[in-house]
Amino acid sequence: MSIFTEEQNGTRHLLMGNEAIVRGAIEAGLDVAAGYPGTPSSEIIETLAKYAEKNNHYVEWSVNEKVALEVAAAGSFSGLRSLAVMKQPGLNVASDFLLHLSASGTRGPMVLLCADDPGALSSINEGETRFYARLMEIPLIEPGNFQEAKDMMKWAFELSEEIRNIVLVRTVTRLSHASGNVTLGERKESVGKAFFKNDGFILDPMEGSVMSAPVAYKHGEQQVKLKRCAEIFEKSPFNVYEGPVNPELLIITSSICDLYSKEAVSLLNAEKRVGILKLGTTFPLPPKLIEQYLAKADKILIVEEVLPFLEESIKVLAAELAPTIGAKQFFGKANGDIPMVNELNPDIVVTALSSILGIEYKEVDEEYKKRASEICFFGSPARETTFCPGCPHRASFFSINKNISMDNRSGFTCGDIGCYSMGMLPGGFSTLKTLHAMGSGTGLASGFGKMTKFGMEQPVVSVCGDSTFFHSAMPPLVNAIHNNSNLTMIVLDNSGTAMTGFQPHPGLEVDATGSEAPKIDIPSVCKGMGVNVEVCDPFDLAKTQETLFKFLESDGVNVLVLKQICALSPEKKGKKMFNMSIDDSVCLGGECGCNKMCTRVLSCPGLIWDRETEKSTINDVICIGCGVCASVCPSGAIKKEEA
């Protein structure tokens, strides 16, 4: 019995935001879904894929977000209901197609779901989806709780059908990964039958060719659709006001910040003084609705995360409306009450509110806070994220770092996006010296490798994961080869997209639904491009280091594929490769000339340095028996035995 395959209309469940989103799409009668993994969006395609066969949906993990949007658009052009799913940086990747798609318009209802990560809880940026709505001139809607995550997702398809353009739905980590109660609704039938009409009159939106030209004409049509949205939004049930008829202060907010705002008002017992206008339709804003509520209060506080998207739009409206509603005093990002970086929480909103309303607020007794902080200083040593015990990346970085140091020409490694980004941190021996977008490590390395012309003699290395290889590292590799650059590209192939939860990719024999699929072999692809390729097991430190040493010495482009499965992969989880033990009579402990290669240098969480005996020990609870520490110990005190 699953809510993702059955009707269950009217039943109530505790759902994760992403599960609510999935149910919403299913209730809307989805046919086609495509995406590329990215926290916090990945569970959406994962769940849809799990039930794809039963629901007769087509669901895929695409090679990257641009292709995902294109695949979903093909569904729409064929008259089906389609969905593309990605995290915000993926929208940057897909944006070129989106610009043209939004001008060409859609046929079957099409929704683009983007998940933002304010506060970068699982990212290295806090990029914004909302501004794309303005840039691409497409409607943007934002659920503010779990019920709305389902309901608005369903509505997004209806809206797209009505205006015949793509609808952007934005969620955030604190909604997608949180859970709350949702009552299910009715399930619509899928369209189920695909046909691409293309021989009608060229300007016919439903039967002609689909394209963004003639530009002025299509652009004008697109803007008419947007005006229509603003009218629809005036009556949307997802724009909700709660509070007194004439509040002293009006909060305007959207997304998860609505729940933070409510909590803050309640913490200050300010329900009689403050009203909250929660907007579900944030672009284009419905002007009459905004006017109606702006007119109610003289002081307005805008509560939103990261950049002042709502704040700026509302101020423009308020300026236009000033002759009728009078001058307003605004609080928010511009006056510094609400920060422009990082995620929000109830405490930040309380601080802003208490200063505007002049109500004192103390989260906890000062004495308590002081003592708890002192205790925490000694009682809670910092806990840095690091590679799992038995992670192949730890072994890979151990070797890369050692080779580069031994080479002694100030060589460096350009990083990329995945679990191996932690190669930036001490747990990865601080090996990575640059870290940007997916595929950028090899792009940068391609450029660095040409700086020889200006006297740069440092060896250049780039790393890239297997999923990243297909997503966006092939073009920079081609670039490096064609332009005669000098670099060693290391593909850290752990047989999956690990960081985001081990989704499959084109290098594997399975697709999103678990069915067999043709696999594209990374070494063969590189060989086809004409470069020298070698494959090693990163757990074989000696062979890896020998090969890397050779590559660092040679000119041109070389690719080293370090192949070993992720420790958290379903194949490996719970299974030990080796039983590890430490021979106390051999471990020299504190006296060892190596100065603790095992714990101080390798620093695998599976090892413990026993302060009393001054010897290394294995933490059996978490060690998965990769055996790497045995190769690191110079005394040979760490023993491995086939498990």
Partner 1 sequence: MPELKYDPYNLIITGVGGQGNVMSSRIIGNMMSLKGFFVTIGETFGASQRGGSVMSHVRISTKETVSPQIPKGKAHMIVSLEPSETIRVLMDYGNPAVQVITNTRPTHPIGVISGQAEYPSDQNIEEWINEISSKAWFFDATEMAVKIGHPIFSNIIMAGALAATNELPLDREIFETIMNTKFNPDKAKSNLEAYDQGVASIV
Quote the CA–CA distance of 301 and 336 in Å, as a whole number. Answer: 11
Ramachandran quadrant class, 631 (left: phi over 0; alpha: psi -120 to 50; beta: rest): alpha
Q: Does 237 bind partner 1 (CB under 8 A)?
A: no
- How far apart CA 122 and CA 439 sit, in angstroms, is 18
Q: What is the 3-state secondary structure (H, E, C) of 275-337?
A: EEEEECEEECCCHHHHHHHHCCCCEEEEECCCCCHHHHHHHHHHHHHHHHHCCCEEECCCCCC
Give the shortest CB-39-to-ligand TPP separation in angstroms. Answer: 6
Residues 21-60, interacting with partner 1 (CB under 8 A): 39-40
Of the candidates 286, 14, 17, 290, the one whose C-alpha atom is nearest the C-alpha of residue 143 is 17
Token digits of residue 431: 């090996």
Q: Which of 66, 81, 87, 572 binds ligand TPP (CB under 6 A)?
A: 87
Burial class (CB in 10 A: 0-12, 13-18, 19+), 321: middle
The answer to the question of residue 121 lying near partner 1 (CB under 8 A) is yes
* Residue among 4, 5, 8, 13 that touches partner 1 (CB under 8 A): 13
Is 175 a binding residue for ligand TPP by CB under 6 A? The answer is no
By a kind-dependent CB cut-off of 5 to 8 A, residue 461 interacts, out of partner 1, ligand SF4, ligand TPP, none, with none
The minimum distance between CB 467 and partner 1, in angstroms, equals: 16
Q: Is 204 exposed, middle or buried (0-12, 13-18, 19+ CB in 10 A)?
A: exposed
The answer to whether residue 566 forms part of the interface with ligand SF4 (CB under 6 A) is yes
User: Please, how many CA atoms are within 13 Å of residue 323, restricted to the half-sphere of its CB?
Assistant: 1
419 binds partner 1, rule: CB under 8 A: yes
Which partner from the list partner 1, ligand SF4, ligand TPP, none does 373 bind, CB cut-off 5 to 8 Å by kind?
A: partner 1
- Neighbouring C-beta atoms of residue 548, cutoff 10 Å: 26
What track of x and - describes contact with ligand SF4 for positions 403 through 442 (by CB under 6 A)?
----------------x-----------------------
The residues facing 12 across adjacent strands are 183
567 contact choice in ligand SF4, ligand TPP, partner 1, none (CB below 5 to 8 Å, kind-dependent):
ligand SF4
- From ligand SF4, partner 1, ligand TPP, none, which one binds at residue 599 (CB under 5 to 8 Å depending on kind)? partner 1
Q: Under the criterion CB under 6 A, does residue 552 sit at the interface with ligand SF4?
A: no
User: Which lies closer to ligand SF4 via its Cβ, residue 414 or residue 567?
Assistant: 567
28 vs 22: CA distance, rounded Å:
10
Backbone φ and ψ of 532, nearest 5° = -75, 125
From 96, 90, 5, select the one nearest 51 (Cα to Cα): 5
Please tell me whether residue 389 binds ligand TPP under the rule CB under 6 A.
no
According to DSSP, residue 200 is labeled S
Token output for 150: 């389902």
Give yes or no for residue 417 binding ligand TPP (CB under 6 A).
yes
Tell me which of 8, 55, 122, 532 binds partner 1, using CB under 8 A: 122
* Binding pattern for the stretch 429-468 against ligand TPP, x by CB under 6 A and - elsewhere: ---------x--------------------------xxxx
Closest CA to 74 of 38, 43, 104, 116: 104
468 binds, among partner 1, ligand SF4, ligand TPP, none (CB under 5 to 8 A by kind): ligand TPP
Nearest Cα to 303, choosing from 361, 246, 260?
Answer: 260
Total residues binding partner 1 (CB under 8 A): 68
Stretches 161-169, 217-225, 385-393, 556-564: which one binds partner 1 (CB under 8 A)?
385-393
CA pseudo-torsion sign 201, 205, 206, 208: positive
Q: Are 469 and 491 in contact (CB under 8 A)?
A: yes
Q: Least Å distance between CB 391 and ligand TPP?
A: 9
In the bound state with ligand SF4, the residue whose beta carbon lies nearer, of 231 and 384, is 384
Task: Provide the 3-class DSSP secondary structure of residue 265.
Answer: helix
Question: Can you give 458-510 as a three-state secondary structure string?
Answer: CCEEEEEEHHHHHHHHHHHHHHHHHCCCCEEEEEEECCCECCCCCECCCCCCE
According to CB under 8 A, which residues from 258 to 277 bind partner 1? Answer: 259-260, 262-263, 267
589 binds partner 1 (CB under 8 A): no
Interaction of residue 216 with partner 1, rule CB under 8 A: no
Of 136 and 492, the one with the shorter C-beta distance to ligand SF4 is 492
Selected binder of partner 1 within 8, 434, 599, 635 (CB under 8 A)? 599
How far does the chain reach from its first CA to its final CA, in angstroms? 39
The site for ligand SF4 (CB under 6 A) is made up of 387-388, 391, 393, 419, 494, 498, 566-568
The site for ligand TPP (CB under 6 A) is made up of 36-38, 87, 89-90, 93, 417-420, 438, 465-468, 492, 494, 496-500
The site for partner 1 (CB under 8 A) is made up of 12-14, 39-40, 121-122, 145-147, 173-175, 177-181, 256, 259-260, 262-263, 267, 345-347, 350, 363-365, 368-369, 371-373, 375-376, 378-388, 419, 422, 426-427, 499, 574, 596, 599-601, 603-605, 607-609, 619, 621-622
